[in-house]
Amino acid sequence: MVIADHPAPTERSAKIAADVERFVREVVVPYERDPRAGAHGPSEDLLVEMRVKAKAAGLLTPHILEGGGHLTHRETAIVLKKSGLSPLGPVALNTMAPDEGNMYLIGKVGSDEQKERFLKPVVEGRARSAFFMTEPADEGGAGADPSMMQTRAVKQGGEWVITGRKAFITGAEGAKVGIVMANSGSTEKMAATMFLVDLPNPAIRIERVLETIDSSMPGGHAIVMIDGLRVPEKDVLGELHKGFEYAQVRLSPARLTHCMRWLGGCIRAHEIAVDYACRRHAFGKPLIDHEGVGFPLADNLIDIRQCELMIDWVADVLDRGELGTTESSMAKVAVSEALFRIADRCVQVMGGTGVSGDTIVEQIFREVRAFRIYDGPTEVHKWSLAKKIKRSNRG
């Protein structure tokens, strides 16, 4: 069962989305069984091979238009949803995190020279990037609470010297561009700044790549030591001490694009589960005719539509020029939890096949389970929303 789209917001996004869907289903899906798609994401040679084909099809980085323009958030939603029909789709098309969010941020606050040097190669799919913010929990570092940041940036002449450890840094292994977030204030007062760096750099050492439940992002997730990294003033991203402000510029759209991509994955998992339930017979009839199977699949349709509506609502908020912090937080909770329900039902409907690697459903289940934590755990978002409710009640 292929789920039809609700009306596309524009003709251009509908055309791009249709081309992206065709490319993912016909070109990318066969790569899902490629041994180069490993536990730490697809290898560099697999990534390059797929991107060469995406570029030849005119679909590389499809959400960024020729001349540097960007699709609206509402238009981006339908395109990125189609890219996510395979876990490898966003990698092949250059719509994957953290690159997508990093492109958006540098495009918003970077200087012309920074855009040419750091943004252009990422947009063109020639380089991957990494965002160095999260720190090891066992050292009391920044995680869901970035104000706990321990990585320090100290001014020395015309340079900033950065020292600290980072954790869960997606794509650090193999990245060519880095955005490092550090405390540039005093020991008494926190002030975060973002710094652009060329990678690899001898002052940034990958200690290990973690073994995690998900496996779709190139380079995996690393523990990184930053030891005396020297960054010239010209490579400060935006203005000094505005790192937290810029993080919100990046995080609201990035939370939403995660929702877009993994909604596409769950739509694919639902298609596979429906096909299985219609073909597989048990107790004298197709599985789909048993309420214990048919009802969960009906619940999937409801959740999918609700996710689409939530994503479009937040996209409209962002397209109005609003920061959308509260709205994106709500969407992150609602969509990530719904996607997990969808993927879990697909696994359950398919029984033993659902927990095997015979279909992509098992991987999609693992990926969306991780998504409930990445970009802020559900509980942290709810806590933040509850604080807003309390403040508004005082008024």
3 state SS of 170: strand
Question: Over 60: is that where the pLDDT of 5 sits?
Answer: no
Q: pLDDT confidence of 230, banded at 50, 70, 90?
A: very high
Residue intervals of the chain classified under CATH 1.10.540.10 are 11-123
d(CA 316, CA 77): 11
User: How many C-beta atoms lie closer than 10 Å to residue 326's C-beta?
Assistant: 16
Tokens (6 digits) for 132: 């160095």
What pLDDT is stored for residue 88 in this prediction?
A: 98
- Packing angle, helices 11-23 and 73-83, rounded to 10: 10
User: How many C-beta atoms lie closer than 10 Å to residue 199's C-beta?
Assistant: 17
Residue intervals of the chain classified under CATH 2.40.110.10 are 129-240
* Cα-based torsion angle of the residue sequence 362, 366, 369, 370 in order, rounded to the nearest 10 degrees: -160
Tokens (6 digits) for 393: 């009640």
d(CA 21, CA 23): 5
Q: Domain 244-394 sits in which CATH superfamily?
A: Butyryl-CoA Dehydrogenase, subunit A, domain 3 (1.20.140.10)
Segment 282-301 shows an average pLDDT of 96
- Packing angle, helices 291-319 and 73-83, rounded to 10: 140
What pLDDT is stored for residue 134 in this prediction?
A: 94
Question: Over 80: is that where the pLDDT of 2 sits?
Answer: no
What digits encode the pLDDT tens for the residues 82-134? 999 999 999 999 999 999 999 999 999 999 999 999 999 999 999 999 999 99
Question: Over 80: is that where the pLDDT of 249 sits?
Answer: yes
Residue carrying the six token digits 């797929």: 50
Segment 365-391 shows an average pLDDT of 94
d(CA 339, CA 343): 6
In CATH terms, 129-240 corresponds, of 2.60.40.10, 3.30.40.10, 2.40.110.10, 1.10.3720.10, to 2.40.110.10
Segment 242-268 shows an average pLDDT of 94
d(CA 260, CA 262): 6
User: How many C-beta atoms lie closer than 10 Å to residue 248's C-beta?
Assistant: 12
Segment 147-163 shows an average pLDDT of 94
Name the percent of the chain lying above pLDDT 70. 97
What pLDDT is stored for residue 263 in this prediction?
A: 98
Amino acid at 333: V
Q: 216: exposed, middle or buried (C-beta count within 10 Å: 0-12, 13-18, 19+)?
A: buried
What pLDDT is stored for residue 394 in this prediction?
A: 78
DSSP class of residue 38?
Answer: E
Beta strand extents in the chain (DSSP E only): 37-38, 41-42, 129-132, 152-156, 159-170, 177-183, 192-198, 204-209, 221-232, 281-282, 285-286
Backbone angles phi, psi at 113, to 5 degrees: -65, -40
**Cis (ω within 30 of 0) for the bond into 200?**
yes
Rounded CA Rg of the chain: 21
User: How many C-beta atoms lie closer than 10 Å to residue 378's C-beta?
Assistant: 16
Q: Are 338 and 368 in contact (CB under 8 A)?
A: no
What pLDDT is stored for residue 123 in this prediction?
A: 97
What's the whole-number average pLDDT of the chain?
94
pTM, entire model: 0.93
What pLDDT is stored for residue 395 in this prediction?
A: 60
Q: 309: exposed, middle or buried (C-beta count within 10 Å: 0-12, 13-18, 19+)?
A: exposed
Q: pLDDT confidence of 379, banded at 50, 70, 90?
A: very high
Q: Are 187 and 180 in contact (CB under 8 A)?
A: no
Q: How far is CA 99 from the centre of its chain?
A: 8
Q: Which fold does the domain 11-123 belong to in CATH?
A: Butyryl-Coa Dehydrogenase, subunit A; domain 1 (1.10.540)
What pLDDT is stored for residue 135 in this prediction?
A: 95
